[in-house]
Each structure stands twice: as C-alpha cells, then as structure tokens.
Structure 1
Amino acid sequence: MSSTSKSTWGGQTAVTKLFEDAHAEGVLSPAGLQALSVVDLGAQIQAGLGVRVEDVQASEVVLVTVMPDDSGSISTSGHTKTVCDGHNLVLDSLLASKQKDGVLFHTRYLNGHVLNPYRPLEDVVRMHSKNYSADQGTPLYDQAVVLLGTVLAKSQEFSGNGVPVRTVTLLITDGADMHSSRATARDVAAVVNDLRRAENHIVAAMGIDDGSTDFRRVFQEMGIEDQWILTPGETAQEIRAAFQVFSQSAVRVSQGAASFSRTALGGFGR
C-alpha cells in the first residue's frame, strides 16, 4: 500500500470522521451513529485501532475481536485460567491456519483494558495471570458499543483504502449488564444490526452459566442472532469447548469470502 493511504491516526476527530463516512455510505444507520456518538468514545476506540493500514501488506484482511469478561464473578467461579486458555486457543487455531498472514487480532477486556490493539497474529500477547485480573464489574452494554465501534472503525479504515475486510467478534460474559452508565441493549442492537446488514461482519456472544441469567434473551436484546450465541455450562470443559467452536468459525471466516458467507448463514452450526 502506498504511503498516501488514508490513516485514522489522529484521535477522536479521526474516529468521528470514520463513523460519519460510514453513515454517508449507508453502512451506519442514524441509530447506530447516535449510539457511537458519545463524548469520550473516540479515545477508547482509538486505543484499539492498532496497526496502520499502510503497514498491512495483505490483499484482504480479517479482523478477529475478542472481549473476555474480567468481572469479579469470573474469579469467584474459578474461571480465570479457563478464560485465558480459551482466548489463547482461538489465537492458536488462527496461527495454524493457512490464511494467518491476513488476520489481525484485537483483545479488549469487558471493563475496557486493551490487551491487544489490532495487530498481526504473531505479535498478539497471550492472556495469563499477570495481565488478566477478573476483579471488576459488568458494563456489558457500554463496552459492547466501544468494542463494536472499534470493529466498525477499523473495517471502515481498510475498506476506505480499497482493502476488502471481513470481521468476526466474540463478546464474553458470565452475567447480565450491571454497570453500564451510557449505553442500553437497544444501543448495542443498533450497531450490531448495522454490522449484520453490511454482510461482512459476524457478531457472536458467549454467556457462561451463572445459574440465573437467561443469556439468549440478553444477547438477543443486544441484536445478536440466536445461531451466534453460545451458552456453555459452568465447567472448564464446557467453556473450553465453546471457545473451540468459536475458533473454528473464526478460521472459516479467514478462508475467504465464500467461506465467510456460508459461515455467516449457518452460525455456529455450520
């Protein structure tokens, strides 16, 4: 790519411009644009954008995005290592794929800490006990909007430079929203629906059993299709199996546009 490629590096103004462009192109609806038009959202999204477009040599790009839950209940339930293992399993599956050079990976914890801004797979930092402490709250709606806004901004950055892009995103939580102060389930759904309508994005969610939350209802209210919802039980084996299912879908997404279309239609059952 030429050095004249448009870059989003420039803070909140640049992020806002990406969203305005997406709106002008019909990618982002008025409701989606409003959900993303929060005063401090630009800085949060900027933190996840990572590698510059002009530094990516692939002819097409796949963005894989994971939001691990770092709320206190993950630790209380004894799932800290299991979530780390699951995240790293997804990474290893992608590293073993033939199309790994065209994949960029982003990890943002549920409470906003960015472990990996978008970067090549070989540069991704693995999750472990030294960089992951499950001891915070559950701002599920607020951070889902930030995460999905980052997916949209990064994909808009590539498409605006003529690079085909596909995305697959996984939200992970072991409870319903408790600490969001800005966004609602309807706000999340507005962005999810825009991404789905663009036909090059998959948004999935995993609800780790807490004994009381109806995760299918929670995620459906956030606009996530039923076939893209995972509801593992509370054992480590069940949670790892759910991560394995997602990793298989992520690898299929990386295999080309045709494989993406089949995967998007079939959900986790594909």
Structure 2
Amino acid sequence: MKNESKSGTSQGNGIDIEGLFEAAREEGALSAEAMQALHITDLGAQIQAGFGVQVDDVASSEVVLVTVMPDDSGSIKFAGNAQAVRDGHNLVVSALADSKQRDSLLAHNRYLNGAVLYPYCPIAQAEKMTSKNYDPELGTPLYDQAVVLLGTVIAKAQEFALSGVPARTVTLFITDGADAGSTWAKAKDVCALVRDMRRAEAHIVAAIGIDDGNTNYRAVFRDMGIEDRWILTPRSDAAEIRKAFALFSQSAVRASQGGASFSRAAAGGFGG
C-alpha cells in the first residue's frame, strides 16, 4: 500500500479518507473539536489499513460495524491474562457469527499498539485470536490509538452512508492500564469523537478495564467520553474477563437487531 498524502487521501485504492470526514462535518456529524482531533497528525494510512471490504461487495441493505481494540501491552502477559483476552474476543466473534443478523455484521480488530489483525470483513471471516497472532508485549498508547480506531469507525460508517447503506457501529476498547505512551493525542481528543458519535445515536462505544490494582478505569473512560453504562471493570481473573466479553457480545447482538433494538441497547448499556 502506498503512503498517504498529507490530505489524508488514500492513494492505494481511491478511498478519500479526508473527504469522508469532510462529508460527516458538512452533515453535522463531526464537530470542529472532533475534526481537530482527527487532524492532530496524519492518520490516513492507519485508517486505511482497517477499511477492508468494499461497500459494493456488501449485499446487506444496512450494516453494523463491530470494532474491537484488544490491549497488547506487556502487562496483559505479565498478569497471565493473554489467553483470557483471546478467548473473550473469540467468544464475541462466535456469538455474532451465530446470530440471525450475521449477514449484516462486519468486524474489525486493531490491537492497542496499532497492528491490524483483520480489517472490516464479514463476521464469518473474522480471524480468531491465537498465541501466534497475539503475543502482548508492547506499551499502552491508549489515546493515540483510540483516535485512530474511532476515526476508522467514523470514516467506514460514512462511506456506507454515502452509498445509501445505513450503518450503525459498536466499538469496544480493552485495556489493563491507563494511557502510557501516547505522543500526540489526549483524553479530550478521544472525548470529542465519542461525544459526536453519541450525539448521532448510531454508535455505541464501550470499554473493558481489567483491574491492575491501581487504575480508576471509570475515571479514565469517562475522560474519554464513554458513558458509565458502557464500562466494565472485571478483576484480573480469567473467568471474570471472559464474563465481561460475554456481556459485550450479548449487547452487540441486541444492537444488531434493527433500529429500535439498537436504540434500546444503546440506552441500556451492559445492563440492558
């Protein structure tokens, strides 16, 4: 894939990332603050890496984009939770692939340090996490990569919308630590994006904070704009982590069942 231009336009296959953001701004879906967050640095190539399937190759009349960002920092491995995170992700993929709405579900997995396990693809094609493709040993640039991930979600949803295909989104962050290593984004930048997404009433943004003994995850995620009802804080325990992922999968399935169901799921949070 060729490098992005500074305008954010993908030169690889003609996807104009910047044009998608501008269209969202003109529709009132992106505020000036959100646009600024998306332009702190050149994100085009990183966003393009997650775009995956082309709109014309999706037969469904509406889509739900399910997007996950598993933490691949070294503390996950140090705490002995790598397999629990793998199992949790795979549980979500299996539950969605078995749902009645599977034909309208597209999934994307970008690890917390930026590696893309799979770009947007039909849920049945989503790759399972294994010890070969997930070996957590890096840092926690939570804010930087949250902006990249949410930018990808917004741009992909906008691409479908411009083609006449309504898109709703369900996004999950997973971390076992506060931000450590972000170089250009802050919590307020993430919050600007999440706030606009919530206002559009077509997006759910959720988070799982695996207890590390000292991080106040509710405070961390609130600063990122994520609502309390979409925050889980399981203990550093395999069964608890898998239970949190199971709750997310149930929420994602409910959200994928149509307009009214999405609204009810969004309002209900993990408890709904």
Alpha-carbon shift at residue 122 of structure 1 (Å): 1.6
Deviations 1:25-82 (A, max 9, x none): 1000000001001443010000001000000000110000000000000000001111
Please say if residues 65 and 169 of structure 1, whose CA atoms lie closer than 8 Å, have aligned partners that are also in contact.
yes
Where do 1:209-220 residues align within 5 Å? 209-220=211-222
Match of 1:4 in 2: none
Please say if residues 12 and 46 of structure 1, whose CA atoms lie closer than 8 Å, have aligned partners that are also in contact.
no
Where do 1:1-270 residues align within 5 Å? 10=12, 14-270=16-272
Deviations 1:1-41 (A, max 9, x none): xxxxxxx8757971111111111110000000010014430
Whole-angstrom distance in 2 between the partners of 1:248 and 1:232: 16
Please say if residues 40 and 185 of structure 2, whose CA atoms lie closer than 8 Å, have aligned partners that are also in contact.
no
Q: Structure 2: which amino acid aligns with 1:232? A: P
Whole-angstrom distance in 1 between the partners of 2:220 and 2:206: 12
Please say if residues 41 and 184 of structure 2, whose CA atoms lie closer than 8 Å, have aligned partners that are also in contact.
no
Q: Structure 2: which amino acid aligns with 1:113? A: A
Whole-angstrom distance in 2 between the partners of 1:39 and 1:95: 35
Deviations 1:169-207 (A, max 9, x none): 000100000100000000000000011111000000010
Please say if residues 12 and 43 of structure 1, whose CA atoms lie closer than 8 Å, have aligned partners that are also in contact.
no
Deviations 1:140-167 (A, max 9, x none): 0000000000000000000111101110
SS of residue in 1 equivalent to 2:171: strand
SS of residue in 1 equivalent to 2:119: strand
Please say if residues 155 and 165 of structure 1, whose CA atoms lie closer than 8 Å, have aligned partners that are also in contact.
yes
Whole-angstrom distance in 2 between the partners of 1:91 and 1:124: 7
Q: Rate the CA distance shift 1:33–1:12 in 2: closer, same or farther, 3 A.
A: farther
Q: Structure 2: which amino acid aligns with 1:87? A: H
SS of residue in 2 equivalent to 1:135: coil
Please say if residues 230 and 269 of structure 2, whose CA atoms lie closer than 8 Å, have aligned partners that are also in contact.
yes
Q: Structure 2: which amino acid aligns with 1:241? A: K
Please say if residues 88 and 246 of structure 2, whose CA atoms lie closer than 8 Å, have aligned partners that are also in contact.
yes
Structure 1 stretches lacking a partner, 5+ long: 1-7
Q: Structure 2: which amino acid aligns with 1:23? A: R
Whole-angstrom distance in 2 between the partners of 1:41 and 1:193: 20
Q: Rate the CA distance shift 1:209–1:31 in 2: closer, same or farther, 3 A.
A: same
SS of residue in 1 equivalent to 2:49: helix
